[in-house]
Amino acid sequence: MKKTILAALAATAGFAGLAGNAHAAADGAQLFATHCAMCHQSSGSGVPGQFPPLKGRVNLIAATPEGKTYIMHVLLNGLAGSLKAGGASYMGYMPSMAAMSDDDLAALLTYVSTLSGDASAPTFTASDIKTARATPMQPGQILEERNTLNAAHPLP
């Protein structure tokens, strides 16, 4: 009986591993619904003046290595202050999500990147998150990083 149960568990684990990216995408959607949608809305469209849209922007920002690092820094460290996004001004505060695992943050960011429907949207890995996590920053520093990035490559 124990061997049958162990064999069934091993087979289930193997099939779960085959799901790979589909499983990560589902996890990303669930993580977004749980942690982000209350502010950025379930569609990622944001709330004018309060929470910037993510849909159609995160994928464009993360298209450069510096942009990808910035996006990870925002999730890991939070963001505070005034910023312009998509031609609109926002004043607010985003909390750090550093308590989440590297795998969860990677799944979440990959999901947000794909909200645009762009098949070539950048993906994030747990290794990417681990590297970004190695440099803790204050929310004000993230705003400075954003301003520097925006000066080099205007952000959408």
How far separated are the first and last CA of the chain, in Å rounded? 59
pLDDT in tens, 117-133: 988 999 999 999 999 99
Mean pLDDT of the chain, nearest integer: 85
Which own/partner contact pairs does 80-89 have at CB distance under 8 Å and 24+ positions apart? Answer: 80/139, 80/140, 80/143, 81/139, 81/140, 81/143, 83/52, 83/143, 83/146, 85/52, 85/53, 85/57, 85/155, 85/156, 86/52, 86/53, 86/57, 86/156, 88/48, 88/49, 88/52, 89/49
Burial of 62 (0-12, 13-18, 19+ CB in 10 A): buried
pLDDT of res. 24:
56
pLDDT of res. 81:
87
Contact present, 150 and 64 (Cβ < 8 Å): no
pLDDT of res. 18:
33
CA distance 135 to 137: 6
* Helices and strands, number each (H, E), in the chain: 7, 2
Q: Which two tokens stand for residue 64?
A: 């450069």
pLDDT of res. 72:
98
Write down the residue that tokens 């440099």 correspond to: 135
Q: Which residue has the higher pLDDT, 81 or 16?
A: 81
Q: Which residue has the higher pLDDT, 87 or 9?
A: 87
Q: Which two tokens stand for residue 52?
A: 């910037």
SS (H, E, C) 30-74: HHHHHHCHHHHCCCCCCECCCECCCCCCHHHHCCCHHHHHHHHHH
Structural domains in the chain, sorted by start: 21-152 (1.10.760.10)
pLDDT in tens, 99-113: 999 999 999 999 999
pLDDT of res. 92:
81
pLDDT in tens, 13-72: 333 333 344 455 569 999 999 999 999 999 999 999 999 999 999 999 999 999 999 999
